[in-house]
Amino acid sequence: MPYGAYSPARSTGSRLSMDQSGSSRKQTPDTKNRGENYEKATNISPDNRCVAGVRLHQQRGCRNRRTIREYKSAGHRPPLIPREVFFGNPDKITPYLSPDGTRISYLAPVDGVMNVWVGPADDPDSADPVTNDTDRGIRIYFWAYTNEHILYLQDQAGDENWRVYSVNLETGETTDLTPLEGVQARIQMVSQKFPEAILIALNDRNPELHDIYRLNLTTGEKSLVMENEGFIGFITDDKYNVRFAERLTPDGGSEIFQATEDGGWEQFMEITMEDLLTTAITGFDKTGMILYMIDSRDRNTAAFFAMDLETGEQTLIAEDPRADTSDLMIHPTEKTVQAVAFNYERKHWQIIDESIAGDLAYLKTVADGDVNVVSQTLDDDYWMVAYMVDDGPVQYYYYDREEKSVEFLFMHRTALEGLSLAKMHSVVIKSRDGLNLVSYYLLPVGSDSDSNGRPDEPLPMVLIVHGGPWARDYWGYDSWIQWLANRGYAVLSVNFRGSTGYGKDFINAGNLEWGGKMHDDLIDAVNWTVQEGIADPDRVAIMGGSYGGYATLWGMTNTPDTFACGVNLVGISNLTSFFETIPPYWQPRIELYATRIGDARTEEGRAFLTKRSPLTYVDRIEKPLLVSQGANDPRVKQAESDQIVQAMQDANIPVTYLLYIDEGHGFARPENNQLFFAVAETFLAEHLGGRYEPIGDDLEGTSVTVPVGAEEVPGLAEALLE
């Protein structure tokens, strides 16, 4: 999405995320960050050129020069792949073509920190870095339509008070365009009609509300376009007109208002609570009189429609009876719909514009995997194409449409090429009440001798629970699950009720079911793996971040017999305190949380939230728990981890607590990220019996403190003393 509305929230994918800035309610395309796994969450840093094996690991000069060993003998298994291959900085990711097609940009490390590089489109190897971030690394950037500016967003220590920066490629000068303390900037709109100006949204006047400003990229001057009167967001067109505004209703639905000629608002559309997460305006055609939208009203799955604003007539463009609209291809200037994607178990495209049918047919012959067009030039003559597979790196190609020719550019993680990685199996598991749970599992390489999708003997298993919870798991390469499979575990991920992508009925089946049927789905899936001989029932761990962290805590407290241990990353322990401490800019959407999680504003609601809070049942924890938290997390505050850890200490229950003083909702700094996985894999090996790479010098350069429980993880206490 380099040329359009861009929210920093989109950079956080399905492993973490607790809504963020409303992006989770729009089922709009997000292929860029999904493909690279930069890696599905801002807490997961990518990778350098280390490869498996001690000798090559040492020859390549990787940061952690340690001897690799196993926790227990693993027989004839593939070599243990160093953590840095999975979680170190990537080679190159997030490539975009400049609007005029003359240059290419991508993210790559500079002295170990991710920065933007720019070079000629026909010679990407000659690119040079144009930014100089030395701390957290840049994750969100795009081209301005001047073709001479790179825009990027950055926060400080994970506080999510994003600032917008501009890099002048001619002078090399970087300018902070929103130098405001304690203010969150969002990109509202970027249009080719105004190359030197963008629309941004700032909550500088009221922390709860984002006003719309027009910002000049060269002078830095900004002017107020629309003062927010209580809306959760605005829809703008490429002429920078504010066309629509949205406000949530007390019942958890929303109202869409259309701007009138006299500067007022008139009601345009009502969206019920049941349709809120599957219905959204996505843009306009070239005339501005045809509205594009994803819509689940009067149906279950979210189809893609065009609406004539003069007549109100709505035309169906694409639909799928099993899955919601997931991705769009739209011509950059003509604004015609080219293709619409849906994803049930795997992504598939419906071609709308036959002029690209030959292009997609040709691209399918180039390489294996799911095809994503991640960038298009303004004239649509050149595309940047990514191929996603389940057992190898993402591959990027430069595609010339006129010549019907491609040029291979690079892989996002060269070190993965040729390694023994696991294949991903998709399966639809029935819940106890009959819902279809689209799930994915991996088996360690070498554990399935007859290749029937079942291991030769039941394995220790890690259940990874995605965040959101209004997100989903996908088919494709994933650093978390490949890392765990290499360590000797079966790995299971489940699209439990409340996950997105499978229609509104499936999402709404999760309303008020945190700690209820949403968790039952996870248990049903684990039981299926046991019945199928995949998982050893005595060696199953639960692991996740954000909502996945909540699910981990709930599993440890309310289904303690199912799990041998748990790994919680920025998880919610007390739903009442979570509700009462949400960021101020989430307040306009408070009814979303009240109707789908529970309402802390009423006595009855508080009682319900208390009943569904893991903290209430801390005395039931019987198995080892690892807790990780960023001190600056604006969504799931540090108090959520502090509370559960303190309660466990008070009850004399062992717990290990990792607290990072310069991180937020997940870990962006590579050093902090590496340490989390170092401790996590050692912890899992201790309690499940898998393989691991010792912690060694992974504490070097991190901000971690371990308030309690260092002695519970082999090697951690010793490393802290070094």
Whether 50 has a pLDDT exceeding 80, the answer reads no
Q: How confident is the model at residue 189 (pLDDT cuts 50, 70, 90)?
A: very high
Q: Give this prediction's pTM.
A: 0.91
**What pLDDT was estimated at residue 76?**
65
DSSP per position, 188-201 = EEE-TTSTTEEEEE
Lowest mean pLDDT among 15-24, 299-308, 560-569, 598-607: 15-24
Sheet of 405-411, strands arranged across:
370-376, 382-388, 395-400, 405-411
- CA angle at 565 for the pair 705 and 548, rounded to the nearest 5°: 75
pLDDT digit string, tens, across residues 597-626: 999 999 999 999 999 999 999 999 999 999
Q: Determine what percent of the chain is predicted with pLDDT higher than 90.
A: 88
**What pLDDT was estimated at residue 65?**
27
- CA Rg value for the chain: 24
User: Omega before 39 cis (within 30°)?
Assistant: yes
**Euclidean distance between CA atoms 52 and 671, whole angstroms:** 20
Q: How confident is the model at residue 122 (pLDDT cuts 50, 70, 90)?
A: confident
Q: Which CATH number fits domain 54-85+420-574+613-721: 1.10.3720.10, 3.30.70.360, 3.40.50.1820, 1.10.287.3510?
A: 3.40.50.1820
Q: Which two tokens stand for residue 568?
A: 């919680």
Whether 157 has a pLDDT exceeding 60, the answer reads yes
**What pLDDT was estimated at residue 31?**
30
Q: What does DSSP say about strands 424-430 and 625-630: parallel, antiparallel, or unpaired?
A: unpaired
Whether 132 has a pLDDT exceeding 60, the answer reads yes
**What pLDDT was estimated at residue 42?**
32
Other C-beta atoms within 10 Å of 555: how many? Answer: 28
Whether 448 has a pLDDT exceeding 90, the answer reads yes
Nearest Cα residue to 282 out of 291, 273, 290: 291
List CB contacts of 389: < 8 A, sequence separation 6 or more. 368, 369, 370, 476, 477
* Ranges of each domain in the chain: 54-85+420-574+613-721
Q: How confident is the model at residue 722 (pLDDT cuts 50, 70, 90)?
A: confident
List CB contacts of 31: < 8 A, sequence separation 6 or more. 327, 372, 373, 374, 386
Q: How confident is the model at residue 20 (pLDDT cuts 50, 70, 90)?
A: very low
Whether 666 has a pLDDT exceeding 90, the answer reads yes
Burial label for 697, CB within 10 Å (0-12, 13-18, 19+), is middle
Whether 48 has a pLDDT exceeding 60, the answer reads no
Q: Which residue has the tokens 């007109």?
A: 241
Average pLDDT over residues 177-183: 96
User: Omega before 469 cis (within 30°)?
Assistant: yes
Strand, coil or helix: 605: helix
Q: Which residue has the tokens 């009189």?
A: 289
**What pLDDT was estimated at residue 272?**
97
Alpha-helical regions (H) of 411-566: 479-486, 504-508, 517-531, 547-558
**What pLDDT was estimated at residue 112?**
93
Average pLDDT over residues 172-198: 96
Q: DSSP secondary-structure letter at 208? A: T
Average pLDDT over residues 350-365: 97
Nearest Cα residue to 189 out of 264, 270, 230, 243: 243
**What pLDDT was estimated at residue 27?**
33
Q: Determine what percent of the chain is predicted with pLDDT higher than 70.
A: 89
For the chain, the average pLDDT equals 90
Whether 74 has a pLDDT exceeding 50, the answer reads no
Whether 62 has a pLDDT exceeding 50, the answer reads no
**What pLDDT was estimated at residue 385?**
97
Whether 52 has a pLDDT exceeding 70, the answer reads no
- Asked if residue 602 lies in contact with residue 540, where contact means CB atoms within 8 angstroms, the answer is no
* Helical pair 517-531 and 547-558, crossing angle rounded to 10 deg: 70
Strand, coil or helix: 75: coil
Q: Which two tokens stand for residue 582?
A: 């949400």
Average pLDDT over residues 675-685: 97
**What pLDDT was estimated at residue 293?**
98
DSSP per position, 484-529 = HHHTT-EEEEE--TT-SSS-HHHHHTTTT-TTTHHHHHHHHHHHHH
Average pLDDT over residues 355-372: 96
Average pLDDT over residues 273-295: 97
Average pLDDT over residues 526-539: 98
Nearest Cα residue to 20 out of 624, 650, 475, 589: 589
Nearest Cα residue to 589 out of 338, 195, 271, 295: 271
Residue type at 16?
L
> Which residues are marked as active site?
546, 633, 665
The total number of residues shown for the chain amounts to: 722
Q: How confident is the model at residue 77 (pLDDT cuts 50, 70, 90)?
A: confident
**What pLDDT was estimated at residue 17?**
55
**Euclidean distance between CA atoms 694 and 715, whole angstroms:** 7
- Asked if residue 579 lies in contact with residue 600, where contact means CB atoms within 8 angstroms, the answer is yes
Q: Strand pairing partners for 660?
A: 630, 704
257: left (phi over 0), alpha (psi -120 to 50) or beta: beta
- Give the start-end residues of each E strand in 6-112: 93-97, 103-110
Nearest Cα residue to 17 out of 628, 572, 660, 672: 572
Query: Which helix (H) or strand (E) segment is 388 a member of?
Result: strand 382-388
Burial label for 262, CB within 10 Å (0-12, 13-18, 19+), is exposed
- CA angle at 709 for the pair 67 and 87, rounded to the nearest 5°: 40
Strand, coil or helix: 95: strand
